[in-house]
């Protein structure tokens, strides 16, 4: 397939192996996450992260502008009646109005009179700073009308948008109905507070159809706001930034107000919200804090409305910003960038510690940076980028592991286990340059070839059973192999009762000293085999077997090495006249066997040995198949130092 690529792309693929899988991992992981995101699959994780970050924010002190009058279980027992009568509510409102609150919000449904005291209650509702509630029919929620006597402009809806997991993370500011656009309960109260400061709602000059208070535009949420994937953005919504748990809003009870047992300063010039906190009345909702709170973990609805009002006031007065978010294209770009960095990191870094460290740093940047931005008023996705980093890195690492396995298998298939650990490690480190398209490409290099043959093998074979003969031969070849590996050679092939070993492959030797060292290692190896032969013959003698002799031929010169065959049969081939010459040296003048282990070399090898060995010249000799005579020498021993 590489051969069909244009030359520049082919060179790039060769110079940057594995880059393609990094790109593929990027495309598939990001594409998969975007599909999952489109279906809402990431939203739950992002919302859990949102809740965690919300809980980690510093809890704010109680808001001095708000007060909640809570109807508790004790209050209900004391009144012995629910719903509360109009007389009780009228008295409650009158006691609060006596201390000049800026606004009072009644978070209690009252669509019909509950005597006694209805006329007094109606009179209290006419005060311009009293806001009543209604419920607007949204989704499965039925509409609940406001108190009939409440002025329409002093009614706000108390609907709260629920996420699929039942948690309140957003707030409605406006909701459309068939014939009007209604204002939220908390928003109405905030307007009362801000009007005293000369701040009125207006259309934002910079953002058409966007409500602005003071200098702050309240831009409504969209479907993909923050970590949401399928947000029902109906109506006019904002993120709810909680000040904290219930303690973020000061609270007194219904009984305390009715008995006059409270500090009037808690009411004066504040927004006062009246509502139930009694669990039995079921007006409690889950919030981001629910996972860590005791009891049912929920927050009373009136407390949530108070937190909404507090946030609107903070934003309008410039004390905080609304929680904002990136446009969808920026979130996608961020996801792609995270996956790109991860895939390139996994592709380029192979060392486990470096890779783990780099991925860990990436995750810390995403999570830590995301939380820091959250504290600054910007919510960006965190779960999706984290998953993209882990998945792209995982895909690339998995592929590289599989690719390494395939390459290692190829190397082992070609070179077998007949290499020293040092060569095996060098081969593995250089696999990207050695292996191309699953093969070892042919390269020309200088090497020293050693051929060995066991003389007298046939005589021994006649005296042994085949199974015993095989074990005996394996023992001999095993000891010879060990000597080859010790001297950094590799066994290229076994030839029945002999073998071919190579010194100087598959890693190319450049310097003359390296080529000379290969030749010296081959001769040292041959002499070590000669020493072992003495012990082998002693063992043969003990077994009643005849002595054996060996012939070794060694030659140094250029060869071409590479893989031979196809995918079903692949072997490491060594080609060239050097191989033939080494083989001819081993087999020449077979009748001339002055020692049990005859070691012959040519002048081309002797040239690299210096004075390290004692040799005897056999003079020019004709080698089978060679037109030119070869200067042949027998290696006798390692030269003694004087």
To the nearest whole number, what is the mean pLDDT of the chain? Answer: 87
Other Cβ atoms within 10 Å of 430 Cβ, number: 13
Average pLDDT over residues 84-88: 96
Cis omega (within 30 of 0) on the bond before 276? no
DSSP 8-state code for residue 2: G
State the DSSP H helix or E strand holding residue 361, giving kind and residue range, or none if neither.
Answer: helix 352-375
Whole-number Å distance between alpha carbons of 348 and 325: 33
Lowest average pLDDT, out of 16-30, 448-462, 592-606, goes to: 16-30
Predicted pLDDT of residue 620: 93
pLDDT in tens, 169-205: 999 999 999 889 999 999 999 999 999 999 999 999 9
Residue 5 has pLDDT above 50, yes or no: no
Whole-number Å distance between alpha carbons of 277 and 285: 11
Predicted pLDDT of residue 413: 54
Pairing state of beta strands 216-218 and 211-213? antiparallel
The domain limits of the chain are: 20-47+333-407, 57-325, 435-638
State the DSSP H helix or E strand holding residue 407, giving kind and residue range, or none if neither.
Answer: helix 383-415
Residue the block writes with tokens 């984290």: 386
pLDDT in tens, 469-527: 888 888 888 889 889 988 988 888 888 888 999 998 877 777 899 999 999 999 999 99
- The residues that bridge with 602 in the sheet, in sequence order, are 632
Predicted pLDDT of residue 19: 64
Whole-number Å distance between alpha carbons of 419 and 408: 13
Pairing state of beta strands 170-176 and 155-157? unpaired
Give the predicted TM-score (pTM) of the model: 0.69
pLDDT in tens, 578-603: 999 999 999 999 889 999 999 999 99
Lowest average pLDDT, out of 163-172, 544-553, 628-637, goes to: 544-553
Q: At 163, list the tokens.
A: 């996420």
Whole-number Å distance between alpha carbons of 430 and 407: 11
Task: Calculate Rg over the CA atoms of the chain.
Answer: 44
Cβ distance 579 to 512 under 8 Å?
no
Average pLDDT over residues 249-270: 96
Predicted pLDDT of residue 573: 75
Alpha helices of 284-351 — where are they, by DSSP H?
Answer: 301-316, 328-348
User: How far is CA 116 from its chain centroid?
Assistant: 67
Average pLDDT over residues 91-112: 97
Alpha helices of 487-543 — where are they, by DSSP H?
Answer: 512-542
Just give the CATH number of 435-638: 3.30.70.1230
pLDDT in tens, 114-166: 999 999 999 999 999 999 999 999 877 889 999 999 999 999 999 999 999 99
Q: At 476, list the tokens.
A: 């001999």
* Of 388, 390, 398, 404, nearest in space to 356 by CA: 390
- The residues that bridge with 273 in the sheet, in sequence order, are 68, 105
SS3 480: helix
Cβ distance 608 to 515 under 8 Å?
yes
Would you place residue 34 in the very low, low, confident or very high pLDDT band (cuts 50, 70, 90)? confident
pLDDT in tens, 304-338: 999 999 999 999 999 999 999 999 899 889 888 88
Q: At 392, list the tokens.
A: 């792209």
Choice between 21 and 280, residue whose per-residue pLDDT is larger: 280
* Of 388, 382, 384, nearest in space to 345 by CA: 388
């Amino acid at each position: 397939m590489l051969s069909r690529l244009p030359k520049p792309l082919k060179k790039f693929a060769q110079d940057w192996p594995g880059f393609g899988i990094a790109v593929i991992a990027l495309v598939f992981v990001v594409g998969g996450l975007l599909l999952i995101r489109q279906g809402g699959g990431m939203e739950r994780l992002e919302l859990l992260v949102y809740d965690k970050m919300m809980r980690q924010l510093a809890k704010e002190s109680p808001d001095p502008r708000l007060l909640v009058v809570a109807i508790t279980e004790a209050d209900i027992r004391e009144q012995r009646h629910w719903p509360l009568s109009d007389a009780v509510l009228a008295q409650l409102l009158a006691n609060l109005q006596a201390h000049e609150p800026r606004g009072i919000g009644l978070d209690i449904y009252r669509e019909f009179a509950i005597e006694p005291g209805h006329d007094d209650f109606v009179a209290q509702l006419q005060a311009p700073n009293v806001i009543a509630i209604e419920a607007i029919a949204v989704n499965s929620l039925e509409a609940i009308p406001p108190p009939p006597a409440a002025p329409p402009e002093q009614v706000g809806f108390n609907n709260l948008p629920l996420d699929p997991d039942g948690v309140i993370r957003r707030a409605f500011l406006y909701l459309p109905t068939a014939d009007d656009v209604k204002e939220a309960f908390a928003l109405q109260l905030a307007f009362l507070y801000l009007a005293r400061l000369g701040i009125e709602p207006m259309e934002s000059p910079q953002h058409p159809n966007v409500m602005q208070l003071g200098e702050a535009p309240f831009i409504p949420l969209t479907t993909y706001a923050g970590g949401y994937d399928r947000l029902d953005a109906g109506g006019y919504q904002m993120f709810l930034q909680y000040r904290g748990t219930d303690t973020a809003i000061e609270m007194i009870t219904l009984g305390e107000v009715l008995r006059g047992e409270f500090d009037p300063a808690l009411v004066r010039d504040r927004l006062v919200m009246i509502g139930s906190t009694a669990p039995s009345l079921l007006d409690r909702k889950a919030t981001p804090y629910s996972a860590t709170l005791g009891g049912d973990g929920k927050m009373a609805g009136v407390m949530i409305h108070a937190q909404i009002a507090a946030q609107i006031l903070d934003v309008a007065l410039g004390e905080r910003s609304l929680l904002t978010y990136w446009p969808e294209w920026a979130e996608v770009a961020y996801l792609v960038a995270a996956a790109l960095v991860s895939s390139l990191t996994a592709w380029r870094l192979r060392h486990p510690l470096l890779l783990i460290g780099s991925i860990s740093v990436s995750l810390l940047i995403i999570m830590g940076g995301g939380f820091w931005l959250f504290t600054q008023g910007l919510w960006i996705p965190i779960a999706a980028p984290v998953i993209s980093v882990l998945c792209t890195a995982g895909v690339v690492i998995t592929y590289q592991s599989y690719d390494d396995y395939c390459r290692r298998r190829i190397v082992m298939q070609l070179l077998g286990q007949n290499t020293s650990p040092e060569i095996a490690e060098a081969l593995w480190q250089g696999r990207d340059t050695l292996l191309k398209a699953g093969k070892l490409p042919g390269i020309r290099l200088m090497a020293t070839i050693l051929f060995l043959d066991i003389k007298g093998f046939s005589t021994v074979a006649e005296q042994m059973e085949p199974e015993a003969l095989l074990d005996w031969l394996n023992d001999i070849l095993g000891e010879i192999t060990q000597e080859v590996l010790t001297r950094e050679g590799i066994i290229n092939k076994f030839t029945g009762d002999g073998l071919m070993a190579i010194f100087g492959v598959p890693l190319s030797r450049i310097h003359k000293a390296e080529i000379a060292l290969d030749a010296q290692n081959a001769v040292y190896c041959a002499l070590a085999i000669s020493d072992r032969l003495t012990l082998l013959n002693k063992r043969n003698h003990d077994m009643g077997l005849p002595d054996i002799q060996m012939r070794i031929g060694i030659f140094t010169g250029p060869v071409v090495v590479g893989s031979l065959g196809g995918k079903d049969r692949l072997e490491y081939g060594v080609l060239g006249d050097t191989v033939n010459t080494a083989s001819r040296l081993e087999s020449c003048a077979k009748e001339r066997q002055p020692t049990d282990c005859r070691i012959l070399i040519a002048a081309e090898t002797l040239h690299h040995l210096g004075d390290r060995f004692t040799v005897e010249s056999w003079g020019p000799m004709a080698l089978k198949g060679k037109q030119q005579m070869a200067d042949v020498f027998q290696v006798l021993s390692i030269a003694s130092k004087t």
